[in-house]
Amino acid sequence: MKVVIMGCGRVGAQLANQLDAEGHDVTVLDLRARQFERFLVPTFSGRKVIGDGRDQDVLRDAGVEGADAFVACTAGDNRNVMAAQIAKLIFNVPRVVCRIYDPMREELYKMLGLRTISPTKVGAELLMQALQEDPAADEAGTHAATR
Amino acid sequence: MQPHAEQTEIGPRDTNYVIVVGGGRVGFHLAKELLDLGYEVLVIESDEFGPRSAFIAEQLGSAVLAGDGCEASVLEEAGCRRAAMLIAVTGDDEDNLVACQVAKGKFGVPKTIARINDPRNETLFGMLGIDVSVSATEAILDKIEMELPVDRLHRLLKLKHTDLELVEIRLPERGPAVGLHLKELMLPEGSLIILLVDNEGTPRLPRPESVLRGNDEVIAITRGNTEEALRRVLTGARDAL
C-alpha cells in the first residue's frame, strides 16, 4: 500500500514507522525536518518530504496523486481537514483518514463524509473504561503476572 | 460533500444579520462597511495576535465576540442559526474553509463567503460548497497588473459560470489594428468588441465601419484561452519590458 502521512509528530511517526516496517511504501510530510530526526526510527526507509500539506503542489510532490491512502495528523484540526479534503476531492485518494481533536468538528466532518478520528473522544473513552475496571481484579492480574 | 438538508439545523433567518469571522484589517473594515450599509454585524475574533477584539469593540460598539470562529459552540453563541450570511476573512485559508463549512453544515447558513490567500484553493472551495470565494492575492495582482504599462490587456471581470471575461485593451499609438475598420479585424472565435473609448474618454458603440485609432480603449468579451490571440490582433507583438 502506498501511504502519505502528513504530520510527523508522535502519532504520525509511530504510524509511519509501523507501516514502513510492514513493508508499505510510506511518505511522511512535515514542515520541519527536525521532526523526522526526532520521531522516525533510524531504520525508516520511506520518503521524507519537507513542506506544507495545505499546498496542492506540495501534496503532489509527496506523491498523493496515485497514493492508496492519505493520513492527516498534524496538530491543527483545520489544517488536517483542509488537506484531507484536497486529497479526497482533488487527488481522489481512495482512503483518507483525518485526525480532528475537537469532537464537535469531528462529528460534522464525519457527517460530511470524511473518515475521522477524534483522539479526544477516543482517549476519554479509554480513560473512562479504565476507571470502570474493578481495581481488585486488576491487582490480582498484576500479581498473577509477576509471580 | 454537501450535508443532507435534514441534518443541518435551518431556522428562520434574519436577512439583515451577517457574521464576520476574523477581525484583522480586512474583517474590521468589512464590518464597518456593512454597519454603514445598515446590516447587523458581529465580528468573531480569536485575539491570537493581540487584544484585537477590544479595539474593534471600542471602534464599532459591541459588535464583537472573542473566540474561535471555527468552533461550533462559538458560532452558536454568535447566533449562527439566524444569520443570513457568514463571511470568513482570516489570514488562513483552512480557518476560513472550516468556519464556512461549520456555518453551512451545522447551522445551515444560506450564504458563505471565504477569503482565499492561495488562488489554487479556489476550485477546492467551490467543490466544498462555499458559495463565494474571494482570492485576495489575485485581486491584488490584477490591480497591480492594471498599472503595468507592458501588459495592454486587463481583465475587468470574469462572468460567473462561463469562461467568458470582460477585458480592456489599450491600442498602441501605432499598431496592426490602428487605422483599420472593425470589420477588417480577424477576431478570435467567441470574441466580441462591445465598446470603444477614445483618449478623451468619449465612448462610441462599435460598428463594422468604426475606425480604430491609436490609444483607443477597446472593451471586449473573450474567453480565457483566446485572450492572448485577441490581444495580438489588436496590439501586435508583446512590448519589450
Q: What is the pLDDT of residues A86-103, one digit of tens each?
A: 999 999 999 999 999 999
A52: chain B residues, CB-CB within 8 Å = none
- Cβ atoms within 10 Å of A75's Cβ, excluding its own: 12
B208 in a structural domain: yes
Question: Of B137, B157, B182, which residue sits at a domain end?
Answer: B137
Same domain, yes or no: B226 and B152: yes
CATH number at residue B47: 3.40.50.720
A98 and A34 in contact (C-beta within 8 Å)? Answer: no
On whether the CB atoms of residues B234 and B177 are closer than 8 A, the answer is yes
Q: How many CB pairs under 8 A join A and B?
A: 65
Identify the helix (H) or strand (E) that includes residue B78: none
Clarify whether residues B133 and B156 are in a common domain: no
Is residue B42 a part of any domain in this protein?
Answer: yes
State which of B93, B112, B137 marks the end of a domain: B137
B73 near A CB under 8 A: yes
| Residue B241 maps to a domain | no
Whether residue B156 lies inside any domain: the answer is yes
Provide the domain limits for residue B202: 147-235
| B166 and B119 fall within a common domain | no
| Same domain, yes or no: B158 and B182 | yes
Q: Which three cell numbers stand for residue B233?
A: 490582433
Which residue from B71, B94, B105 is facing A79, i.e. has the nearest CB?
B94
Helix H, strand E, coil C: the string for A87-132 is HHHHCCCCEEEEECCCHHHHHHHHHCCCEEECHHHHHHHHHHHHHH
Instruction: Tell me the ipTM for this assembly.
Output: 0.83
A11, A12, A14, A19: CA torsion to nearest 10? 140
Query: Of the candidates A104, A112, A113, which has its C-beta nearest B72's C-beta?
Result: A104
Q: pLDDT digit string (tens) for B167-223?
A: 999 888 888 889 999 999 999 998 999 999 998 899 999 999 999 998 899 999 999
Residue B26 in domain: yes
Residues B108, B157 within the same domain:
no
Query: Among the listed ranges A90-94, A114-118, B9-13, which one has the minimum average pLDDT value?
Result: B9-13
CA B166 to chain A, closest CA, distance in angstroms equals 29
Asked if A94 is an interface residue toward chain B (Cβ–Cβ < 8 A), one would say no
pTM of the model: 0.75
Identify which of A56, A102, A112 has the shortest CB distance to residue B1. Answer: A112
Chain A CA closest to residue B7: A111
Q: Would an 8 Å CB–CB cutoff place B102 in contact with chain A?
A: yes
Amino acid (1-letter code) at residue B164: L
A112 touches chain B (CB under 8 A): yes
B90 domain-assigned? yes
Nearest CA in chain A to B118: A55
Going from the N-terminus, what domains does chain A have, and what CATH number goes with each? 2-119 (3.40.50.720)
Same domain, B46 and B115: yes
Number of domains in chain B: 2
B70 touches chain A (CB under 8 A): yes
Summarised one tens digit per residue, pLDDT across range A5-28 is 999 999 999 999 999 999 999 999
Is the separation of the CB atoms in B115 and B90 below 8 Å? yes
Q: Are residues B98 and B180 in the same domain?
A: no
Which of B88, B108, B137 is the last residue before a domain boundary?
Answer: B137
Asked whether residue B126 falls in the same domain as residue B154, the answer is no
CB A17 within 8 A of CB A85: no
